[in-house]
Structures are given as structure tokens and as C-alpha cells.
Structure 1
Amino acid sequence: MGSTAHRHPVRKGLVLLAMGCAGGMVMLDQSVVAGALDPMARDIGMSTVAMHWVVLIYVLALSSFVCVGATVSRRYGLVPTFRVGVAVFSLSSALCGASPAGSGAEAFALAARAAQGAGAALMLLVATTVISEVYEKHRRGRALTTYAGVAQLFFVAGPLTGALLTQFLGWRSVFLINLPGGALTLWVVGRAHVRVAKSPDESLRVPQSLLTVLALSLVVLGVFESGVWGLPGLGVLLTGAALLAVSLRVMLTTRRPLLRLRLLRIRSYGVAVTITFLIQAAQLPVLIHGTVYLRQQLHLSVTGCGLALLPFIVSLALGTFASGFVLEHWRSIRIPVVGGSLVACAGTVLWTALVPSGAYPWMVVAMVLSGAGMGMPIPALSAQMMDAVPEVSRADASTLR
């Protein structure tokens, strides 16, 4: 008689729900703390510099530990790695919400945020790989676009969500909300009966992991603090860049690299990674500077600003979900990528032209065009990346993206 895991078929809808919950929590936590930083600092006695590091150290740990997560998932399996990531993320979120006041408050909060970012890295790395493994090729595009749409929606909704939670439930709720979210995710993934093989012959490659994490940490620290530290900050940046170059060299020459950078030689994959980077690099400034403009020029509160950005948020989500249907119907990424990029450019140009007038009703049109256009390319590109690489390399492909 077979095991329980083999008696039950994989429930793909629950797989997508679990991965969507995980991706949503990870992306939400990058932006949701914005509204909680000021009351958090006043309550537990944090400095202005520490407030910035609450955001930065999460992103730093997330980006640094993604590459470590790739080798961990190959060694111990995707689903166990995912479960550990969810548990670490949820428990460290609870610790953030329980940060005490006093002399050790800053160190406590920053350590908890770093652990939260590390857990988020394990979750985010595994999600797209698991979806690609359990869905057939003809359904994979829509599944990945649905997952990306949920994550993207949570990211852009973060500032408004954080403002509402802080206003009505206090700043600690911004972190504590991840506890039920994590519990739900673990319960759903258990019910999904996911079966993905692991690679027991894989080593953890600890030296490469430590070198890469150290290099990325110094680069980010140098960029963030160079304006304050002056020459010492520039020295930190250059040291990090040198170590990063050494790390990349090691990964290109060793037989068992931490990341398989040679995947970028696959033309369709390399092009998709490059376009994804360019589009996402444009999204963040639009969201951040659009928020700053609405607050400063239209004199809106944090909550009012979040509500004013709803046309952009909703249209971005609709564009993201529409990408899956377009990709599945026409079987080409050119329509969502090229068409979406052109619409996004038109919307941002119109939005920029309307800034001096302060005419918000007309800006709604520009926000809708910008959001819908920006939402369409990324999910289609994600599906293209997963299809372009061999099945055994999907975890590495997910990391590089």
C-alpha cells in the first residue's frame, strides 16, 4: 500500500493558492512597513537611520539569501525548503511585532527583519519553480501570470494596507498579520499534496554562499551609506564590488556553482531576464515618486495618498491577470510584452505631462494606462523564462530572474 502522498493527486489549485499567498506576503512586506515606520520609531525609540534600515535590511537579506536558497532547495527539496521559509518568515514577523522599547530595540527589530528577509528568500525562490513543476506547459503560462499578479498586487497595495492597519490596529499589526497568513499557507500547501523530487547528491556550497552574501551586503551597505560616510562608504562599496566579482568568477569556473550563471547564455532566457529587469526598474520609481508627488503637491494624508493611487493599483492588477489570457490565447509573449510596454510608456508620458497642472481627474486616465501596461509584460516573461531552461535548472532560473 502506497504512502498518503502517493494516494492523493496533486491539487494544483491549492498549489497556486499556497504559492500566491507566499509571494503576496513577501512582496507586501517590502512596502507595507512604510506607514508603520514613524509610529514604530516613536514607540520603541528608534533613530531615523534605524528606520531606513528596517526597510533596507529586509530587502538585503531577501536578495542575498535567494542564491543560498537555490542550493538548499536542491539539497533538501523544494517543498521542505518552502515550509521552512514560511515558518521562519512568520515567526520573525511575530518577533518584529513584539519588538520591545529600550536600548536594545533597534538591534532586536533589525535582527528580526533580517531573519524575515531570509525566510522570504526561501519562499520566493521556491514558488515559481513549484508552479512550473506541477502545471503542464499549456497551462503553465496562465498559472504563473496568476501567481505574479497576486504578488504584484500585494506589493503596490502595501503602502495603503500599512497605513490602514497602523491607523486602526496599531503598527504592530503590520507585522503580526503575517502569522495567520503563514499558518494558512502551510495548511494549504499540506492539503495540496505537492510531490517534487529532490537532488540528494547536492552539496550546500557553504564557502560560495558566505562569499556571495558578504559581497552583496557590502555593495548594498556602500550604496546606502556612501553619502553619509564619504570615503569610508566608497571603500565599503568598492570592497563589496571586488568580492562580488570574485564570487561571479568562482561561479563561472567551478564545477558546482552556487548559481548556474551559464543559463544566461540561453538566448530566450537571457533576453527575458534583461527585459524583466528594465521593466521592474521603471515600476518602482513610478510608484515611489507618484506617491511622493500626491502627498506633497496635493497635500494628501498617507491613507488619502493610497486611495488616490488605487486606479494605478487596480489597473496594474488587471493588466497582470490579463497577461495570462493573452499569452494562452495567442501563444506569444510579444503581444503582452511589446503591447504592454507601449501602453505603459504612453501612460507615464501623459502622467508626467499632467504633473504641473495638478489635475487629478485627468491623472486617473494616465494611471490606468501606466498600470495596465506595466502589469502585462512581467508574468509573460516569467512563463517564458521557465519554459526556456531545462527542467532540472528551474530553481536556478527562478533565482536569477
Structure 2
Amino acid sequence: MALSITASRPDPALLDLPWDTPLEDWPEEYLAALPRGISRHVVRFVKLSGRVLAVKEIKTVLAEREYQMLRLLRRLDLPTVEPVGVVSGRVDKAGEPLDACLLTRHLQFSLPYRALFSQSLRPDTATRLIDALAVLLVKLHLAGFWWGDVSLSNALFRRDAGAFAAYLVDAETGELHQSLTDGQREHDLDIARVNIAGELMDLEAGGYLPEGADPIEISTQIVTRYTELWNELTGPERFEQGDRWRVDERIRRLNELGFDVDELSISTDFDGTQIQIQPKVVDAGHHSRRLLRLTGLDVEENQARRLLNDLDAYRAANDRQNEDEEIVAHDWLAKVYEPITRAVPRDLAGKLEPAELFHEVLEHRWYMSEHAGRDVPLEDAIADYVSTVLPSKPDEMAVVGVDTVEMPVVAMFDDD
């Protein structure tokens, strides 16, 4: 049996990896020290050509199917990990066949949910993660993707201006349809509620869930959050013909949730007295696309919202509302954003991605100003944050520290 590598952009360095060795026995010299979640499959992170790949050992037919599904989801611009390739036709040194390996690119600054709970986090972390998972599930369902195994374990989370953004990492059970029925969506929600309850019970048993937190109560929040968001995005709204301003109000609400309205369906009653409005096509990323257009910064949605708020404040403070927005954005980037992100010493640069660092410095400045009873200069806030706060944060680029596989577990759930 010949070794076969399927990849859109094959890297010759893939041939240097020990494919004739079971993945769980790969030598340390090939591995990257990143926290792993719990999985029914063997998963390892490897260093290759200056990047980090996640390698999952899985049956060939499943690896090829998941690879193609992830490629489809990426083409639909959905939040998933990037598929790199499939390695099949593996045999060990004795000539015995080995399972194939699915390769995906590691998402920088992302963590599995168990790694997040190994850190010192806010008491409402579980709720914020479920909010992020609900947003991800809505985006997938709008695109016609039925997940089939919704859980915290099957997603990765990146900090997003105090909240979290969720990315799908396991599409093994998923199906892509033209659109989903209500029954398919409800089935995914039932799976999510049961899986999340079990995951939170594991954390509770290991002492990682805040005291008094109820796993069952928290897990049911995904149904509530999902339903609210789904209805806001897809539900029709009726109003009197004279209240046309409510069309704009509806669009603004959708934008505030992080969605753009690409098309609206507007109809009137026979007598023209009432108008019904319903979003037809919605897409995520209103704020991040605006920031990218103005500054070239490609960041998460909540981070983009926070940066744009600071940009707007800079514009107002300098009385430049009537100037070209792109020119003001260029000045803000050079005079505000870059001085903050460049103030971090090289040895601390891997702690947080630049946009999240910027957000935290602004938060730190606000707390300092409140304590001092006066406006603290930005330079003082940067210096204080770098010296007193940043050094104690975990390194989220290289993620040094706890391996979440070693955390106590009551029940086993799969993830990537």
C-alpha cells in the first residue's frame, strides 16, 4: 500500500513526518506543546514549516469526508478550522495498516474550553462560552449545515474583546443541505443541551466550575440564546406603513448582533396599511469587514466593534467628523493602535493577539482612571498594564502550561 497525501497545497515537509508510526507514539521532537481536548480519536499537534498542524488519526473514509466538508464550510466563509490535507495508505514497520490522518491548521490564540477553565476566569465564563457556541450554531444553520455533534468540546474559542468567538473543529458527523428544517435545527439543539450538561458536570467534578453553578441550568441557556438570535435574524416583523424608520431600526439591531443584512423581503397588506419585513440573507462580520476596509486589521467581530468605537471616539475628540473616514482611520492606526501594540516587549508578545491586547489596555486605562478620579494618560496605562498585568497571563500563542487531557474527567466527550 502506497502512502497517499491529499492536499490543496501539498508541503514536501509532510514526507518527513513518521507516518509509519502510530500517532500516539510519535516522538516529542515532532510535537508542539499545545493543550489538547478530550477526543475519541488520537490527536497531536505537530510543528511543520513554521506552522502548527493538528493531526487526527481516523478511518480513511471519515478523514476524506471531513476534509471535504471543512473545505466546503470554509468556502461558505463559516468559522471553522482550516483543512490542510489527508494522509492515507499508512503502514507500520511490520507492514500492518494504520488509520489515515486528517490535517488541519491550528487556530492561533484559540483554546479548547477545558484549557480556559484551567485559568483564572470570570464566574460567567461558562455562559459566555455557550453564547459563543449559540452564535456559531446559528451561523452554521443559516448556511444549511447540520452539525450532529454540537458541544463545547467540538469547538475552539478565541477571546473577542471580553467575550469569546467559537470555531467549529469537528465536522465528522455534519451534513450540508440547501436549508435545514425546524426538526433538524431542534435536533442539533437537543444534542447541544445534553452534551454541554455532561461537559459542565465533568468540570464541576474536577473543581473547575464556579461554586453554585448549575450545569443543567447553564446548558439549557444555549436553547434560549439560540432561539432569541434565530428569531431576531429570521423572524418577520409587522408595523404600520408610517413607521418606515423601523426598517432601519431592524437592520441596526442585526448589525449590533454582528450580522449584516444582504437582502430584505418587504411586503404590504392589500390595503397598504401594514408592512412586513423579514431578513432574507444574513451574513456575519459587519464590524470586522468595516475595520478591515478602513485599517487592514483582520480581527474578531467584538474586537472590531471595540476598535471601531475607539476610532469613532478619536475622530470626535479631534473634531474630524467631516474628514474622510479612511484618512482618520490611518491616523488613528499610527497614533493610537500601533503605539499600544508595539509597547509589548518581545518576550511577552505571545501572551495575547494584538487586537485583544488593545482591548485590555483600554479596559485597564478605564479602571485606572476610575480609581484615580481623573483621566489617566494612555502612555501611563500601557506601561502599567505591561508591567503589572500582562506578565501573569498565560501564553496563548504557544500555550505553555496545563495539558487539559490530564484534567480530571468523569465522562468522555470527543473534540479536536
What is the TM-score with the length of structure 2 in the denominator? 0.30
Q: Which has the higher helix share?
A: 1
What is the TM-score with the length of structure 1 in the denominator? 0.31
Greater relative CO (CA pairs within 8 A, separation 6+): 1
Q: Which has the higher strand share?
A: 2
